[in-house]
Amino acid sequence: MKLTFATRPSALARWQTQWVINALQKIHPNLECEEKVITTQGDKILDKPLPEIGGKGLFTQELESELLSGSVHCAVHSLKDLPVENPAGLTVGCIPARAEVRDALISANGYTIATLPEGASVGTSSLRRASQILSLRPDIKTESLRGNVDTRLRKALDGQYDAIILAGAGLTRLGLDQHVTEWLSLDVMLPAPGQGALAIQCRADDQTTLSLLAKLEDESTRKCVTAERAFLSGLGGGCAVPVAAYAVISDQSSVISLTGLVISEDGKRAVKVIGQGTDALALGKHLADKAIAQGASEILKLITVH
């Protein structure tokens, strides 16, 4: 049996795909796997901020097209980049155990959020991160930061920004976490829905691939990210809006605890909701409705493209 995986060209995407391949081959020793590298629109357009490029599936659409055409069996995504709705005919075949969920601050001068000088420049590709930083430090300037993890890190270490913020999972996976100046606590920086988790997408009718992937599934991670993404979906948001969500499941029970956040671009207005439940989809939807009742829709309507 042979599986072909679609992957983006970045070092992180290749690492993630290779991790999935290695994990599958440990479970299925006779399984042959190969990669097909595909460049997405998000990989090509590097001179504009992500929200300005717009559109869902910026880093996933081309990979999904390869799946639908039948030229590959699977595509490995960072779950936070994957739109909440699968295209017809595709499904998320498995979600392995989640890695680091926190964001990390990197500064060549060793600054932390608290010690950044007034007017400091903080690079980020995410409205969610920029908004939460501005809520803490309205005196600093957030600036667009594009490129793969290696490129962004180099810009920080070269001093092009006073600090940058990146997802911790990418840094730990690439063995670059020694550069982290400050791990941002979840009280300071709530992650994107699905952050730290991988999603292996395949065709919904491909039972052979689905059965192979099933052994990598982590049920707790699936429930948590389903709740987070249901919150995002309930708000009508995509990957580029300043919406954050994080869920955990108690070891002693099957109760999911979900925290959701909608925050304005300037960080001055925020709606934070917290809830518990055993049905991930229902919990996410309930908290989205609760956030909307508290003014989340008005905040999202004011989001502008620069």
pLDDT exceeds cutoff 90 at 91: yes
Residues 235, 243: contact at Cβ < 8 Å? yes
**Confidence tier at 57 by pLDDT (50, 70, 90):** low
For 239-289, the pLDDT digits (tens) are 567 999 999 998 778 999 999 999 999 999 999 999 999 999 999 999 999
Integer angstrom CA distances of residue 173 from 18, 113, 185, 215, 290: 11, 24, 19, 21, 35
**Residue 306 domain flag:** no
Report how far residue 218's alpha carbon sits from residue 91's, in angstroms, rounded to the nearest whole number.
16
**Residue 129 domain flag:** yes
What is the predicted pLDDT for the residue at 306? 40
Task: Tell me: do 84 and 65 sit in the same domain.
Answer: yes
**Residue 238 domain flag:** yes
Report how far residue 279's alpha carbon sits from residue 256's, in angstroms, rounded to the nearest whole number.
8
Q: What is the CATH number of the domain that holds 265?
A: 3.30.160.40
Q: How many domains are contained in the chain?
A: 3
Please, what's the b/e burial string for 219-257 (b: 16 or more CB within 10 A of its CB; e: otherwise)? ebbbbbbbbbbbbbbbbebbbbbbbbbbbbbeeeeeebb
Work out the average pLDDT over 11-25: 95
pLDDT exceeds cutoff 70 at 305: no
For 125-162, the pLDDT digits (tens) are 889 999 999 999 999 999 999 888 989 999 999 999 99
Integer angstrom CA distances of residue 279 from 194, 218, 253: 17, 16, 13
**Confidence tier at 174 by pLDDT (50, 70, 90):** very high
Domain that holds residue 73: 2-95+197-217
Integer angstrom CA distances of residue 108 from 38, 50, 86, 90, 122: 33, 24, 40, 43, 12
Lowest mean pLDDT among 2-11, 40-49, 67-76: 40-49
Task: Tell me: do 84 and 209 sit in the same domain.
Answer: yes
What is the predicted pLDDT for the residue at 85? 87
Task: Please tell me whether the overall predicted TM-score, pTM, comes out greater than 0.75 for this model.
Answer: yes
Residues 135, 201: contact at Cβ < 8 Å? no
Catalogue the active-site residues.
Answer: 81
Amino acid at site 96: P
Residues 84, 288: contact at Cβ < 8 Å? no
Task: Tell me: do 86 and 202 sit in the same domain.
Answer: yes
pLDDT exceeds cutoff 80 at 203: yes
Work out the average pLDDT over 197-222: 96
Residues 277, 247: contact at Cβ < 8 Å? no
pLDDT exceeds cutoff 50 at 299: yes
**Residue 191 domain flag:** no
Work out the average pLDDT over 58-77: 88
**Residue 190 domain flag:** no
Lowest mean pLDDT among 34-48, 108-122, 187-201: 34-48
271: left (phi over 0), alpha (psi -120 to 50) or beta: beta
**Residue 189 domain flag:** no
Mean pLDDT of the chain: 91
